[in-house]
Amino acid sequence: MTDLATPDTTGDTYLRYRDDLERPRPDEEEIIDKIIAVLRRNNERAYRTYKRGVRDAHAKSHGILRGELVVPDGLPKELAQGLFATAGSYPVIARLSSTSGVIRSDQLRGVRGLGIKVLGAQGPRALPDDDATTQDFIMVTHREFLFADAHAYLTQGMPTAWALARLSDPVMQFASNALAALDEKVLRRIHRPLPPTLGVFVRPTTHILGDTFYSSAPLRWGDHVAKLLYAPSSPEVVALQDRPMNAAGVNALQDLVVDFFATHSAEYELRVQLCTDPRVMPIEDATVPWPESVSPHRTVATIRFDRQDPYTPERRAFGDEVLSFNSWRGLDAHRPLGSINRLKKRVYEASSNYRHDVNNAARVEPTDISQLPQ
């Protein structure tokens, strides 16, 4: 039997990437077909509600940012992989969002999202018919994915999503507050906190620019396998970590982002956690935490955003209606791995196709940062 891990030059042991690391269920494609059919009905329902097509996840944005990703010189060999193999800088477009497929008030608790689009990524692509030169990373504020694989998403996630999409904001607010009170006053005192699928709805709403975002599911990291983390690093955004939102209005997060970048710049670190052992850090089960004690996150790049207006009407329209983000749009060296990512491969494309078709919107994959409106 082949050894799954090979030591690198530092003496640490990291899993070597191989094409046979993934182990799909025999019926996975049929499961994904069923999920796409349900999500298509959700897309159609949203179109009737909003009179336009919206994403079936990350429907509401809070800012479209222009930035720069900088890869430093001298990264260790195990980190200097793919896009990060050599020092350099790349233009970036980032979209901050809430993960719901329904456009809701920002006062509601929940998971926030971040789409990062790196321009100028040269090299073999994850998808053979993709001729773009961008690298997308999609991240959320929940460290592990809420469902292990596509089957769990179909049987557990889809019924929940169907029900939540039909609740009004006041009902969602009431239910979230009730769950938070139950968790804090009862369950945690008896050491039985809410399961993660409910826990995301009691997470306090914090300032989105101080949040840490995670890839949740693994991806190829050149010769290795990794998960990603994006965290505040400059003082102004570090100060916002865990800070309650403390802003009124249905678009409070948008207001916070616009107000911040009117007078401040911001810098974040992109960090990777390399897999050491697939038995401890599995590829196919996205709910299992990868322990920091075994392999800590390590910085591979910084992303800087200068002062700007991140939500002009033209920029919002470009980020929401024209752009699409798909973690499979990128280099083969960073190909997404595991069942949840194979699900996203088809779901994201189907959703994007529907949205652009009904909105009669061009699909543009930018080649130059000047294409992002001021």
CA 220 to CA 335: how far, in whole Å?
A: 5
CA 148 to CA 242: how far, in whole Å?
A: 27
Q: Are 138 and 152 in contact (CB under 8 A)?
A: no
Q: Are 126 and 115 in contact (CB under 8 A)?
A: no
Longest dimension (CA), the chain: 59
Q: What is the pLDDT of residue 299?
A: 98
Cα–Cα distances (Å) from 263 to 65, 93, 97, 268, in that order, read 14, 19, 21, 17
3-state secondary structure of 153: helix
Structure tokens belonging to residue 332: 């083969």
CA 23 to CA 38: how far, in whole Å?
A: 25
- How distant is the alpha carbon of residue 39 from its chain centre? 19
Q: What is the pLDDT of residue 289?
A: 95
* Complete DSSP assignment for 273-340: EE-S-TTTS-SS-TTSPPPTTTS--EEEEEEEE-S--TT-HHHHHIIIII----TTSSBGGG-B-SHH
Euclidean distance between the first and the last CA atom of the chain, given in angstroms as a whole number:
56
Structure tokens belonging to residue 145: 């994915």
Q: What is the pLDDT of residue 162?
A: 65
- How distant is the alpha carbon of residue 255 from its chain centre? 21
Cα–Cα distances (Å) from 275 to 16, 238, 253, 278, 326, in that order, read 9, 27, 34, 7, 23
Q: Are 67 and 303 in contact (CB under 8 A)?
A: yes
Structure tokens belonging to residue 366: 């930018």
Structure tokens belonging to residue 184: 């804090």
Q: Are 343 and 96 in contact (CB under 8 A)?
A: no
CA 66 to CA 303: how far, in whole Å?
A: 10
User: pTM for the full model?
Assistant: 0.91
Does the CA dihedral 106-142-336-39 come out positive or negative?
Answer: negative
Contacts (Cβ under 8 Å, ≥6 apart) of 167: 175
C-alpha gyration radius of the chain:
20
Block means of pLDDT (10 residues each) for the chain, length 374 residues? 37 84 95 92 88 89 98 97 98 95 88 97 94 96 92 84 69 74 77 73 88 97 98 98 93 97 98 96 96 96 98 95 94 97 92 90 91 94
Q: What is the pLDDT of residue 165?
A: 67
CA 121 to CA 34: how far, in whole Å?
A: 34
Structure tokens belonging to residue 296: 């800590």
Structure tokens belonging to residue 168: 């009004």
Amino acid at 101: G
C-alpha dihedral (243, 165, 148, 127), degrees to nearest 10: -100
Q: Are 266 and 228 in contact (CB under 8 A)?
A: no
- Using alpha carbons only, give the angle 206, 95, 343 rounded to the nearest 5 degrees: 100
